[in-house]
């Protein structure tokens, strides 16, 4: 029996997020998957064209409405619920976009949600982390219930492009007006994106100040790396919230993660478990970060970081 899967595209109005290609990768592991991507946007053409090219996508459906200029869950959920009838699965990324949106869709469909899918065992059986990744459970969706899910993007490699899926327009339902976008204070950055960067340089409380934290940006620039931070560093105001890595921040899977002055609370380790290589620099040899580090260096970060910068050249 073929599984009809609807994926909600994440995008900024111009560019399809790489998280969507990771959702496609997850959906493609469901046996006999027939994959449709839904693009809700004020003007969907550009994003729909990118979605139609993602390998494994069979069809793209667009829903255009001025309310979708910004991704408000209250406005998008009824659109997806209206489309969802023929689908066995409705998936979105486990980003703040998907975490906000997907449960609202699940409730409109009066069905179950599987959060943070990290592996697919069958069309109804999935693995997901609980307790901040300290346990992995296998769950079975019962009685043929429609599956709404968020995909833990760090668990999947984005699929490539090359498809030429047909694009169809669906008519929008009138979204509610009780929720309005006001503003977003996104720090514009020329640096690689934290969630897709190959290398991440991350700093913790031991940096001691926002000024010292700048040192990490210089190192990151030399490594063409993204910059991350522990919760302690964000709470202390050394780095903005969008840099937070961990259970309540971003879950990332770079090739190389360099943790500088991060002690390694369980909640932080949750966010980096899938990194290929973890480097830890910390003056405390007993810091828990060393338990997960592939390469550990005990020492004063204020000496080591400038040395690294110089050695990399």
* Residue 178: exposure state from Cβ atoms within 10 A (0-12, 13-18, ≥19): exposed
Regarding 287 and contact with another protein (CB under 8 A), the answer is no
* Segment contacting another protein by CB under 8 A, of 28-36, 58-66, 204-212, 235-243: 235-243
Give the total residue count for the chain: 313
- Residues 14 and 154: their CA atoms lie apart, in Å, by 23
CB of 43 to another protein, least distance (A): 20
**Binding to another protein (CB under 8 A): which residues in 196-225?**
199, 223
Residue 304 binds another protein, judged by CB under 8 A: yes
Residue 174 interacts with another protein (CB under 8 A): yes or no: no
What is the chain's alpha carbon radius of gyration, rounded to the nearest angstrom? 21
Stretch that binds another protein, among 23-31, 43-51, 158-166, 304-312 (CB under 8 A): 304-312
d(CA 70, CA 304): 43
> CB neighbours of 12 closer than 8 A, spacing ≥ 6?
none
Residue in 46, 49, 119, 145 binding another protein, rule: CB under 8 A: 145
| Nearer CB in complex with another protein: 174/187 | 187
- Contact between 68 and 93 under an 8 Å Cβ cutoff? The reply is no
The span of 23-31, 154-162, 211-219, 273-281 binding another protein (CB under 8 A) equals: 273-281
Structural contact between residues 150 and 117, judged by C-beta atoms closer than 8 angstroms? yes
Written as one string, the DSSP assignment of 21-77 is HHHHHHHHTSTTEEEEEEEEESS-HHHHHHHHTBTTEEEEEEEE-GGGGS--HHHHH
Q: Is the sign of the CA dihedral 215, 219, 221, 227 positive or negative? A: negative
Closer of 137 and 169 to another protein (Cβ): 137
**Residue 312 interacts with another protein (CB under 8 A)?**
yes
- Residue 190 CB partners (closer than 8 Å, separation 6+): none
Handedness of CA 226, 229, 230, 234 (dihedral sign): negative
Interface stretch with another protein, choices 57-65, 140-148, 167-175, 209-217 (CB under 8 A): 140-148
Of 86, 162, 187, 190, the one binding another protein (CB under 8 A) is 187
Q: Please tell me the count of residues contacting another protein according to CB under 8 A.
A: 86
Q: Which is nearer to another protein, 60 or 126 (CB)?
A: 126
Q: Does 240 bind another protein (CB under 8 A)?
A: yes
Which pair of tokens denotes residue 22? 């990771």
* Residues within window 77-136 making contact with another protein, judged by CB under 8 A: 77, 95-97, 99-108, 110-116, 125, 129-136
Please, are residues 198 and 277 in contact by the beta-carbon 8 Å criterion? Answer: no
CB of 34 to another protein, least distance (A): 23
Q: Is 15 in the site for another protein (CB under 8 A)?
A: no
Residue 186 makes contact with another protein by CB under 8 A: yes
Q: How far is the CB of 49 from another protein (least distance, A)?
A: 23
Please tell me whether residue 283 binds another protein under the rule CB under 8 A: no
């Amino acid at each position: 029996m073929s599984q009809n899967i609807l994926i909600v595209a994440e995008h900024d109005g111009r560019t399809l997020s790489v998280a969507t290609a990771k959702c496609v990768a997850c959906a493609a592991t469901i046996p006999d998957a027939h994959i449709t991507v839904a693009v809700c946007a004020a003007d969907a053409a550009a994003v729909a064209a990118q979605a139609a090219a993602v390998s494994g996508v069979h069809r793209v459906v667009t829903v255009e409405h001025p309310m979708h200029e910004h991704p408000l869950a209250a406005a998008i959920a009824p659109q997806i619920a209206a489309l969802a009838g023929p689908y066995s699965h409705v998936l979105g990324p486990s980003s703040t976009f998907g975490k906000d949106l997907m449960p609202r869709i699940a409730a409109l469909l009066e069905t179950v949600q599987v959060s943070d899918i990290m592996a697919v065992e069958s069309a109804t059986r999935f693995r997901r982390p609980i307790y901040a990744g300290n346990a992995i459970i296998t769950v079975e969706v019962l009685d043929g219930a429609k599956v709404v899910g968020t995909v833990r993007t760090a668990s999947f490699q984005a699929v490539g492009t090359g498809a030429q899926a047909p694009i169809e327009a669906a008519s929008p339902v009138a979204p509610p007006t009780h929720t309005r976008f006001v503003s977003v204070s996104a720090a514009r950055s020329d640096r690689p994106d934290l969630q897709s960067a190959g290398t991440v340089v991350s700093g913790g409380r031991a940096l001691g100040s926002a000024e010292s934290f700048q040192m990490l940006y210089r190192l990151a620039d030399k490594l063409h790396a993204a910059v991350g931070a522990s919760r302690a560093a964000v709470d202390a105001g050394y780095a903005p919230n969008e840099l937070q890595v961990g259970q309540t921040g971003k879950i990332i899977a770079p090739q190389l993660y360099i943790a500088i002055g991060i002690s390694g609370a369980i909640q932080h380790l949750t966010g980096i478990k899938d990194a290929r290589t973890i480097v830890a620099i910390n003056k405390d040899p007993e810091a828990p970060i060393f338990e997960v580090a592939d390469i550990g260096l005990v020492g004063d970060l204020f000496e080591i970081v400038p040395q690294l910068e110089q050695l990399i050249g």
